[in-house]
Amino acid sequence: MTKALIALHFQNDICHPDGLIPFAVDRSAAAPALFLDRARTLIARAREAGWLIAHVHIAFQPDYSDLPRNARLFRAAGELGALKRGSWGAAPLQGFEPAPDDVALIHICNNAFHGTGLEDILRGRGVSDVAVAGLATQYSVEHTVRHAADLGYAVTMVRDCCATANAAAAEASFAAMAMLADVRNLDEMTF
């Protein structure tokens, strides 16, 4: 059994206090620092245990020619001038840079599998179990968990390594995903 961690959107515009996306994490409380510390610990422990680490970032062409315009969530990135490929905002947050043996992928949607080749990478490495963490809980994390479950992976959603600015939406997501995945905190994980 080979395991992988899918780490979603640990990027400056999404996580950094000066980032341009205001709705991914509640920056007004102490919780973001705790969440980021736990997420760094999760990545480090998974890496030490020999898991494949797949960093999936969202980024768009500088002119937003590839920006999906069908949903407010995506249009907001363009309106805010956020997540342009090659920019500081689209780059990994300090402490979340991919290591040489990690996989780094870019997509333009919520689902980490859509348009990234992630499924082929996981299958090619014999991965059977995936853990998912990142931002935002009710969007990209949930969508990725759903897709991974549909593909037949044993999925763990790492609750305290997921974040959003909408606590009620996150709780609803955790409750819904409990039917498709193990929903666990970092200290409940087995490496």
Domains annotated on the chain, with CATH = 2-188 (3.40.50.850)
Residue whose structure tokens are 């991919």: 98
Distance of CA 188 to the CA centre of its chain: 19
pLDDT at position 29, please? 64
Q: Comparing C-alpha atoms, which of 111, 189, 190 is closest to residue 150? A: 111
Q: What is the DSSP letter of 52?
A: E
Q: What is the pLDDT of residues 76-125, one digit of tens each?
A: 999 999 999 999 999 999 999 999 999 999 999 999 999 999 999 999 99
